[in-house]
Amino acid sequence: GQQVMQIPQYQHVQEGEDFTTYCNSSTTLSNIQWYKQRPGGHPVFLIQLVKSGEVKKQKRLTFQFGEAKKNSSLHITATQTTDVGTYFCAVRESNYQLIWGAGTKLIIKP
């Protein structure tokens, strides 16, 4: 079945620094979704990427889908305390089933 590797597991940043998480697959993906889960909360949908080379922006968040549709990244510019949480990518195994990455936890250093 589909597998997706997400790195890094954790990233510690100073407030104001940038953050990036990566998802990689050995197979070509039909699409990829990104979710954010705040501490103690539930996953919340951020975006879905479908097209090869697609780049989408949401304020300070930039999402990219690789040209070969085998990898994706989420980049946050100038992190803020509200960005704290775990960011997950999720890829389609079938018409409905999502396979989730292990997540990257964003930690803001005090």
Partner 1 sequence: GAGVSQSPRYKVTKRGQDVALRCDPISGHVSLYWYRQALGQGPEFLTYFNYEAQQDKSGLPNDRFSAERPEGSISTLTIQRTEQRDSAMYRCASSWGGLDEQFFGPGTRLTVL
73 near partner 1, rule: CB under 8 A: no
Q: Which of 32, 43, 71, 74 binds partner 1 (CB under 8 A)?
A: 43
If the CB atoms of residues 2 and 77 are measured against partner 1, the closer one turns out to be: 2
Give CA separation, 31 vs 28, 42, 104, in Å.
9, 22, 19
- Residue 110, preceding bond cis, omega within 30 degrees? no
Q: Looking at 14-22, 55-63, 72-80, 95-103, which segment touches partner 1 (CB under 8 A)? A: 95-103
Chain length of the chain: 110
Stretch that binds partner 1, among 13-21, 51-59, 60-68, 100-108 (CB under 8 A): 100-108
100 touching partner 1, by CB under 8 A = yes
Of the candidates 97, 108, 106, 101, the residue with the CA atom closest to the CA atom of residue 34: 101
